[in-house]
Amino acid sequence: MGSLTRYLCRRLLAAVPLLVGATLIAFLLGVAAPGDPAREALGMSGVREPTEQELQAMREQLGLHRPLAVQYGLWLIKAAQGDLGVSYITKEPVAKELLRRLPHTLALAIGAVLIAAMTGIPLGIWMAARRNRWEDHLGRTVALLLVSVPGFWLAILFILLFSETWGLLPTSGFGGWRELLMPSAVLASGTGAVLMRLSRAAMLEVMNQNYMLTAKAKGLGELGVLIGHGLKNMLIPVVTVLGSSFGGIVGGAVIVEVIFAIPGIGRYAVEAIYRRDYPVIQGYVLFTSIVYVLFNLLVDLVYTWVQPQIRLGGAVR
């Protein structure tokens, strides 16, 4: 397993510059933010019109008088210890609040991935089986529609139909699966559409392989060939895309969280932006980056496990 260990180490090392880059961007965002953090901080503690001395004192207290590189270094050390600073508004530690909200966003994202996989993959296979017939054309049109429709609009349409008109589902909040169903479905729409197209293409590719012909020649029915021999061979590219889309879904949950009033990390970030609460915005950027990088790493590891050629250094077909 020497080569596997080496591969894992290489992948882990590759994640380091990503995280360093993320911290640098998060830090620079705070620098680029308009306004004077010292004035903001004083304003938050009730000093409306600070004197020059008070501002100077606050700048020193916040470390703003030091060179940028030193400020970044200090910020990085604190971030590495899990200290992302304190919200200007609530005075709560940012890291703690992000961790408290993360499960809501994760539940939403997992729901979305499940819905996307359970609809996108079977529909894609079905489209491949009915290639160039009306079912295929309909499926492709639906997929194209789903990637074209803005998520916020789809969300409001869903509320209008399922909550207001038919009264089937609650409009907002966070609790059981009933609250999660609509927001997850909206979040899943784009990924589901991509999966439909991808599964269709992957299945068509697999259907051209000789072993499929062999299976058919042995007298297996069309469905039996597709499920028994096609499915597991087309799933590898599909699952890779599905896995790497998860991180993007976590990042893209913002709109859905805002519309359905879900207390996740995206809504926290948007509220922070409205109030110019920069430590929270920085924390959000860093936090989503870590989730994204870690998840992509996890997908890579699973992929290595499923597809041994990679870890043995062979070519992937």
Does 273 contact another protein by CB under 8 A? yes
Instruction: Using CB under 8 A, pick the residue from 120, 139, 247, 264 that binds another protein.
Output: 247
Return the half-sphere exposure (C-beta side, CA atoms, 13 A cut-off) of residue 9: 6
Give the whole-angstrom CA distance, residue 235 versus residue 158. 30
Query: What is the maximal distance between C-alpha atoms in the chain?
Result: 88
Instruction: Using CB under 8 A, pick the residue from 54, 62, 122, 152 that binds another protein.
Output: 152
Stretch that binds another protein, among 83-91, 211-219, 228-236, 284-292 (CB under 8 A): 284-292
CB 265 within 8 A of CB 161: no
Q: How far is the CB of 207 from another protein (least distance, A)?
A: 16
b/e code 6-31 from CB counts within 10 Å (16+ = b): ebbeeeeeeeeeebeebbeebbeebe
CA distances from 24 to 20, 92, 129, 278 (A): 6, 23, 49, 15
Binding mask 20-59 for another protein (x = CB under 8 A): -xx--xx--xx-xxx-------------------------
Does 16 contact another protein by CB under 8 A? no
Give the whole-angstrom CA distance, residue 293 versus residue 285. 12
Nearer to another protein, 230 or 247 (CB): 247
Nearer to another protein, 230 or 279 (CB): 279
Amino acid symbol at 193 = A
Stretch that binds another protein, among 63-71, 120-128, 150-158, 218-226 (CB under 8 A): 150-158
Binding mask 153-192 for another protein (x = CB under 8 A): x--xx-xx---x----------------------------
Instruction: Using CB under 8 A, pick the residue from 293, 299, 300, 311 that binds another protein.
Output: 293
What's the DSSP call for residue 93? B
Give the whole-angstrom CA distance, residue 71 versus residue 282. 14
Q: How far is the CB of 33 from another protein (least distance, A)?
A: 5
Does 149 contact another protein by CB under 8 A? yes
Secondary-structure percent of the chain, ordered helix, strand, coil, rounded to 5: 80, 0, 20
Residue 88 φ then ψ, to 5°: -60, -35
Does 289 contact another protein by CB under 8 A? yes
Closest CA to 236 of 293, 308, 288, 178: 308
Nearer to another protein, 114 or 144 (CB): 144
| Residues near another protein (CB under 8 A) | 14-15, 17-18, 21-22, 25-26, 29-30, 32-34, 144-145, 147-153, 156-157, 159-160, 164, 247-248, 250-252, 254-255, 258, 266, 269-270, 272-274, 278, 281-282, 284-285, 288-289, 291-293, 296
